[in-house]
Structure 1
Amino acid sequence: MQKIRYAVVGAGWISQEAFMPAVPQTDNSQMTAIITGNEEAAAKLSNFYDIPHRFTYDRYDEALQSGLFDAVYIALPNHLHADYTIRALKRGIHALVEKPLASSIAECEAMIAAADESGARLMTAYRLHCEPGTVEAIRLVSSGAIGEPRFFHGIFCDQMGSANHRLKAGAWGGPLPDMGVYCVNAARHLFGTEPVEAVAMGSRGDDPRFREIKEIDSAILRFPGGGLASFTASFNGAAVDTYRIVGTEGDLEMRPGLRFETPTRMTLRRGKEVTETEFADIDHFGAQTAYFSDCILQGKASESDGAEGLADMYALLAIEEAARTGRAQTITSPPRPHHPHAGMVRMVDRTERRLLL
């Protein structure tokens, strides 16, 4: 089978923990280059995964012209996503970009335009769109399994190490773009429409980790028809990842529902009937990579495209502004033509083979 060749751009924790172990688990993708500022780490990782080529960031344009890879996986701090993605797309190199897609509406639009102009594919790395539990939750709600959905609540939190770039305001760090984006994305697809208003509040205690960013972000989104979605994201809480959507005739809960390390579990309640489902323990990063490679090989756009990343950006920035000003913010986002579906799911096995430096 033909394989799409990837360059890993940013060989930090998420690449080492999740993306790089996953790629060899697919049958249509391989890594042929690493682009990072840590040459020692690049040497060790390339040896471990048998990746033949290494480049430093100052040689990125040289790498893009080398013909050594077909696509890039962008796992850089948020404020660098747009620059590195646009440079790749303009060279006809496809781009799989971590969430959030960028740090402004203008950057997202520029990334989408670069993909449209070059014909290269752009996908926002929504791994859960290729995971069976998430897709089944969306299908059930849209099919009326809980009646009309009325409100959603999500919690996503964990502890963040003091040296992590996600604690830097200049990198658009903080729990909202890093963890809150998952709740926003889940709510949008479960309601099947785009939010129209946001209210929000953030807070911090006296922990020195949070000098530049909020410790906790909480928000409420209003959807057409009066549905409400609330969530809390934190960098200073026990590891919790769950959401629940309540409808007029039942409710659906995912616990866990957002992390990549564990299989998703669903509880569907409708009157006295309760159904528990644990979904297949697949590799989320392998699934999204296999799906994106299939899109490239088949010459079709990813359904988690740049516009999908832009849709979340409208909500995230409105939430940020609502928290800053203390005033409700209107959200104007065009409707999405589709939602995650079973055709996007890829059953890729997990592996314990990884190198963490």
Structure 2
Amino acid sequence: MIRYAVVGAGWISQEAFMPAVALTGNSRMQAIVSGSPEAARKLAAFHGVPETIGYEGYDALLANDRIDAVYIALPNSMHADYAIRALRAGKHVMVEKPLATTLQESEAMVAAAQESGAFLMTAYRLHNEPGTHAMIEAVRSGKIGDPVYFAATFGFQSQLGNHRLKAGHWGGALPDVGVYCLNAARHVFAAEPIAVQAMASRPANDPRFAEIDASLAVTLRFPGERLAQFFCSFGSGMSESIRVVGATGELILDPAFKFESALRLTIRADGKEKTTAFDQVDHFAGQIAYFSECIAAKTPPEADGEEGLADMRALLAIDEAAKTGETVHLALHPFGAGIVPAMRRAFARTTKRLLL
């Protein structure tokens, strides 16, 4: 049984991570690390977690053998510090995306994992989700011919007061939801982008967007003359979709990204159309169970620090392109191993959750 400390007890931990742990059968929560003692105690009592600890006690927790791994769900600007401290203490780390806020931070996190031998996993929950696997397998098997174009949208109306609206934490739609679109494009093409263009929009007089852009539209060039585009937003109606156009057909995944959604895949090829509706599964239980299996087997996870670093390179290039209006070119990097069928996990969602 892999023992986790949850670092950061905000919405994503309460809504998604904490309820999922009990579903896995191979993981449990040992501690909640939070700056809100009362909330942490309530959550610990609800989920049966033995310990609650303030941030000042984090290093002492890492120094003992009561935990094996940490899940970091802090603002983006805090990812690197808390991950590196855990890795140097020999604890495995699952960190929410984006990996960090700069390439230097991201590379330091990867280096800390390599030096300690502990695993660093970027929390790409869709890498274990059945509908996402079906989409990738449809592309790989040639059901729509060679993929030539990728398009995605992920947007919704964000609420005033959310820390993701703060520039100081590298907030905004791009690192929060645009990363899903980017990551999907990379895996569909099994390649890294070599050039990006981007344009941002920010409505006047909307206090939510005093520090960040509301929406971004992005175009990416991949090797082999393949193109991708995506739109991400904190100021749009709910939209979460992927469309991949191949040489002989196309596929549509809609819904495509949210962990509350049951994914639905439509393939159009050879004059036929087939739609598959997937069962709603617990994305977080899938990725937690997978990571715990990797830890127990001493097998590095697929969505490791290098996978998070690959997205960081592109995210920062997109950010630069949006600010300058110029095409930003990226150095050619090899694509990683990619997701494989053995990573697929399917746990039914639980209704047991406490939101404070």
Give the structure-1-normalised TM-score. 0.98
Pairing 1:219-258 to 2, within 5 Å after superposition? 219-258=218-257
Q: Could you tell me which residue of structure 2 aligns to residue 286 of structure 1?
A: 285
Moved over 4 A (4+): none
Q: Distance in 2 between matches of 1:333 and 1:21?
A: 40
Tell me whether 1:341 sits opposite 2:340 in the alignment: yes
Per-residue deviation at 1:315? 0.7
Q: Distance in 2 between matches of 1:141 and 1:220?
A: 21
Letter of the 2:343 partner, please give it. Answer: M
Q: Distance in 2 between matches of 1:287 and 1:314?
A: 27
Letter of the 1:220 partner, please give it. Answer: T
Contact 1:175 1:215 in 2 (8 A): yes
Pairing 1:46-61 to 2, within 5 Å after superposition? 46-61=44-59
Deviations along 1:117-136, one digit per CA (max 9) or x if unpaired, are: 11111100000000011011
Specify the SS of the correspondent of 2:240. Answer: strand
Q: Could you tell me which residue of structure 2 aligns to residue 306 of structure 1?
A: 305
Letter of the 1:258 partner, please give it. Answer: F
Contact 1:150 1:227 in 2 (8 A): yes
Q: Distance in 1 between matches of 2:273 and 2:256?
A: 18
Per-residue deviation at 1:161? 1.1
Specify the SS of the correspondent of 2:211. Answer: coil
Q: Distance in 2 between matches of 1:349 and 1:71?
A: 24
Deviations along 1:115-174, one digit per CA (max 9) or x if unpaired, are: 111111110000000001101111111221111111111110011111110000000000
Name which of structure 1's ranges 135-144 and 123-132 shifts more when overlaid on structure 2: 135-144
Q: Could you tell me which residue of structure 1 aligns to residue 84 of structure 2?
A: 86
Q: Distance in 1 between matches of 2:346 and 2:254?
A: 20
Q: Distance in 1 between matches of 2:222 and 2:311?
A: 14
Specify the SS of the correspondent of 1:134. Answer: helix
Q: Could you tell me which residue of structure 2 aligns to residue 190 of structure 1?
A: 188
Letter of the 1:96 partner, please give it. Answer: M
Per-residue deviation at 1:271? 3.2
Tell me whether 1:15 sits opposite 2:13 in the alignment: yes
Specify the SS of the correspondent of 2:348. Answer: coil
Letter of the 1:171 partner, please give it. Answer: H
Q: Distance in 2 between matches of 1:133 and 1:220?
A: 25
Specify the SS of the correspondent of 1:151. Answer: strand
Q: Distance in 2 between matches of 1:281 and 1:209?
A: 32
Contact 2:4 2:29 in 1 (8 A): yes
Contact 1:23 1:29 in 2 (8 A): yes
Letter of the 2:41 partner, please give it. Answer: A
Q: Could you tell me which residue of structure 1 aligns to residue 100 of structure 2?
A: 102
Pairing 1:62-81 to 2, within 5 Å after superposition? 62-81=60-79
Deviations along 1:191-246, one digit per CA (max 9) or x if unpaired, are: 11111000001111021110000000110000011111100100011111101010
Per-residue deviation at 1:333? 4.8
Shift of the 342–116 alpha-carbon distance from structure 1 to 2, 3 Å rule, reads same
Per-residue deviation at 1:336? 2.1
Q: Could you tell me which residue of structure 2 aligns to residue 37 of structure 1?
A: 35
Q: Distance in 2 between matches of 1:19 and 1:339?
A: 24
Per-residue deviation at 1:66? 2.8
Equivalenced residues, count: 355
Q: Distance in 2 between matches of 1:139 and 1:106?
A: 34
Q: Distance in 2 between matches of 1:94 and 1:24?
A: 19
Q: Distance in 1 between matches of 2:35 and 2:257?
A: 30
Letter of the 1:132 partner, please give it. Answer: P
Give the structure-2-normalised TM-score. 0.98
Alignment equivalent of 1:118, drawn from 98, 112, 116: 116
Deviations along 1:298-353, one digit per CA (max 9) or x if unpaired, are: 00100000000001011100000001110000112521231112111112221010
Specify the SS of the correspondent of 2:224. Answer: helix
Q: Distance in 2 between matches of 1:40 and 1:160?
A: 26
Q: Could you tell me which residue of structure 2 aligns to residue 265 of structure 1?
A: 264
Specify the SS of the correspondent of 1:348. Answer: coil
Query: Gaps (5+ residues) in structure 1?
Result: none
Aligned-residue CA RMSD (Å): 0.8
Query: Gaps (5+ residues) in structure 2?
Result: none
Letter of the 1:289 partner, please give it. Answer: I
Contact 1:174 1:213 in 2 (8 A): yes
Contact 2:63 2:89 in 1 (8 A): yes
Q: Distance in 2 between matches of 1:87 and 1:295?
A: 21
Contact 2:307 2:336 in 1 (8 A): no
Per-residue deviation at 1:10? 0.4
Identity of aligned residues (%): 54
Q: Could you tell me which residue of structure 2 aligns to residue 27 of structure 1?
A: 25
